[in-house]
Amino acid sequence: MEKSEIVRKAEALVEAKMKGNDASHDAAHAFRVRDLAISLAHEEGLHHSSDSIEIVELAALLHDIGDYKYKRLASLVDSAEENIVEEFLQDESVNDNKRMKILNIIKRMGFKEELEGLQNGKDSVEFGVVQDADRLDAIGAIGIARCFTFGGSRHRVLHDPHVLPRSTLSKEDYMKKEEQTTINHFHEKLLKLKDLMKTKAGQRRAERRHKFMEEFLEEFYKEWDGKA
């Protein structure tokens, strides 16, 4: 189906705003999440012609613009940066109801927001498929590649057996990753995502990706210890 004008403009905005990010959070990530979210939405019974699909597509495309990890890296403090998505939706005359649904998904879908308790079991299907799509892209083969790409971009230690993963995390703890290793991120977040999927479709897909990560880590530790 031909893309709508607003979707084409959203894609262009994503390309422009995320072009300076490393490959773990670039435009390709946003496009993968969009494709996954639409696929999950169809599995969950949302019709292609409905407003719900446009909400899903736009929220998925725009969800990482102004990501705190890159704002902090670039020392961006301009509050206007936080409002890019809202301003884009207003400029495109998206109606208030649809705009608020898109912004609500983006604001609350992150892992750190779940740690803070901003999510509950009454979320919409639209919220569930976008969040699940983002989390699916964080696990499996692509998730592994993204994890090491991000860790490398921050010059993070690959693995240190003496630095144990943190067993419990607050939002503030999660955002303070300077002393953590890349491998510990699997235990602190990625291996937990399978059980946090909100939709049946997301749960089904997460099983395979989760298993792949477990197998990867098993091999990683054997090779690290010289046993493989």
Domains and their CATH numbers in the chain: 5-224 (1.10.3210.50)
Lowest-confidence region among 75-79, 182-186, 216-220: 75-79
pLDDT at 36: 98
Q: Is the pLDDT of residue 153 over 60?
A: yes
pLDDT at 76: 44
Q: Is the pLDDT of residue 15 over 50?
A: yes
- CA angle 191–170–153, rounded 5-degree value: 60
Q: Is the pLDDT of residue 7 over 80?
A: yes
Lowest-confidence region among 49-63, 87-101, 109-123, 161-175: 109-123
pTM, 2 dp: 0.90
Q: On the CB side of 46, how many CA atoms lie within 13 Å of its CA?
A: 25
Q: Is the pLDDT of residue 171 over 70?
A: no
**pLDDT average, residue stretch 168-179:** 68
What is the per-residue pLDDT across 188-208, written as a single tens digit (0 to 9) for each? 999 999 999 999 999 999 999
pLDDT at 193: 97
Q: Which residue has the higher pLDDT, 224 or 110?
A: 224
Q: Is the pLDDT of residue 8 over 90?
A: yes
**pLDDT average, residue stretch 10-16:** 97
Q: Is the pLDDT of residue 150 over 70?
A: yes
What is the per-residue pLDDT across 58-117, written as a single tens digit (0 to 9) for each? 999 999 997 777 664 444 444 455 589 999 999 999 999 999 999 999 999 988 777 766
